[in-house]
């Protein structure tokens, strides 16, 4: 599996993945009807460091890395990840997570924070815990899950010391 910086010719693949991930309304706050242009503008906006994972010549996942806050909070990174649902089980999320942590360290971030991990997204919670994140806060009923109604969202954190 190859992890590399995004290229202009990746936009169709990122949109395909983005749309497939948000359509169920169970892991991201985005409106499932979000138009392509708005989705790509969000994912690819200036200041985001965007990468994709390729497997067998096909883009199967993507992540963005950025500062969680401006100015005096800019030393803490934030990231978002999306994996093609048809490629789950290949280790794409783990590979992207490991790459992102290394990239965040390279860019000089001291820590990483996920602001809004849907608590019922147990695969993501397990992955982030495996990569050293811990839950530092729970936002009760903060996410309106398409099937389950109001569920908790988690704030997850880890420092980025040397591995």
Express each pLDDT in 85-94 by its tens digit.
Answer: 999 889 999 9
Write the pLDDT tens digit of every residue in 130-153.
Answer: 999 999 999 999 999 999 999 999
Burial level of 7, CB count in 10 A (0-12/13-18/19+)?
Answer: exposed
Write the pLDDT tens digit of every residue in 92-107.
Answer: 999 999 999 999 999 9
Q: What is the pLDDT of residue 163?
A: 62
Please name every residue paired with 113 in a beta bridge, in sequence order, or none if there are none: 157
Whether the CB-CB separation of 26 and 121 falls below 8 Å is answered with yes
Question: Whole domain around residue 41: which residue ranges?
Answer: 2-159
Domain count, the chain: 1
pLDDT over threshold 90, residue 60 = yes
Q: What b-and-e string marks burial along 38-54, b requiring 16 or more CB atoms within 10 Å of the CB?
A: ebeeebbeeebbbbbbb
Give the whole-angstrom CA distance, residue 65 versus residue 9: 20
Residue 112's pLDDT band, with cuts at 50, 70 and 90, is very high
In this structure, what CATH number is given to the domain that contains residue 84? Answer: 3.40.630.30
């Amino acid at each position: 599996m190859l992890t590399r910086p995004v290229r202009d010719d990746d936009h169709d693949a990122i949109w395909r993945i983005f749309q497939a991930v948000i359509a169920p309304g169970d892991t991201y706050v985005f409106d499932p009807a979000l138009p392509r242009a708005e989705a790509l503008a969000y994912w690819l906006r200036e200041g985001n460091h965007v990468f994709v994972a390729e497997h067998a010549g096909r883009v199967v996942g993507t992540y963005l890395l950025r500062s969680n806050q401006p100015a005096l909070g800019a030393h803490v990174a934030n990231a978002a990840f999306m994996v093609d649902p048809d490629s789950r089980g290949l280790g794409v999320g783990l590979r992207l997570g490991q790459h992102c942590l290394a990239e965040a360290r390279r860019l000089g971030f001291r820590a990483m924070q996920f602001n809004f991990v849907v608590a019922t997204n147990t695969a993501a919670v397990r992955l982030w815990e495996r990569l050293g994140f811990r839950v530092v806060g729970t936002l009760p009923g903060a996410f309106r899950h398409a099937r389950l109604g109001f569920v908790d969202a988690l704030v997850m954190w880890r420092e980025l010391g040397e591995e």
